[in-house]
Amino acid sequence: MKFSLIKKKIKRYLVFTSFAYRIGVCIAAALLLAAGVFAGAFFEETGLICAAGLLTMAEVLSDYWLFFGLQAKEPQKMDFLRTSGFGMEVIRDAVMMDLLRKFLTALGILAAAYLLAG
């Protein structure tokens, strides 16, 4: 039963993500990992801090791309989610899964960069 709840939350998150968004996130993660390894190899901890800053900027841009309509004062085409019975729950689950994805992505990229940079 617990697995079905997680599966439902993941599906609600994937409703908001397009295929291009998912590919873009994977490419950005690979580029940030390469930048973190490169910067960490030459500048040690300072390079990893710079890679973390780049990661933060990339995540802010991805948040703007993914949830653009939710942050506007009068979002277009989002009223059906706000007024439906499960709409706010769908939005809440999608935002929570996005936050979890960002945390795990940041943890993975920075840990891998630290280990690969030596």
What confidence score (pLDDT) does residue 78 get? Answer: 64
Considering the entire predicted model, what is its pTM? 0.79
Q: What is the pLDDT of residues 8-52, one digit of tens each?
A: 998 988 888 888 888 988 898 899 889 888 888 888 788 888 888
Question: Would you state the pLDDT for residue 59?
Answer: 84
Rounded distance between C-alpha atoms, residue 89 and residue 79, angstroms: 14
> What local confidence, expressed as pLDDT, does residue 93 receive?
87
What is the DSSP secondary structure assignment for residue 18, as one 8-state letter?
-
Give me the helices (H) in the chain, please: 2-16, 19-43, 45-66, 68-71, 79-83, 87-117
**∠ at Cα 53 (47, 55), nearest 5°?**
105
- What is the structure's pLDDT at 70? 64
What is the tens place of the pLDDT at every residue in 69-108? Answer: 566 666 666 666 666 777 778 888 888 898 899 899 999 9
CA distances from 48 to 31, 41, 88, 100, 101 (A): 14, 9, 37, 21, 20
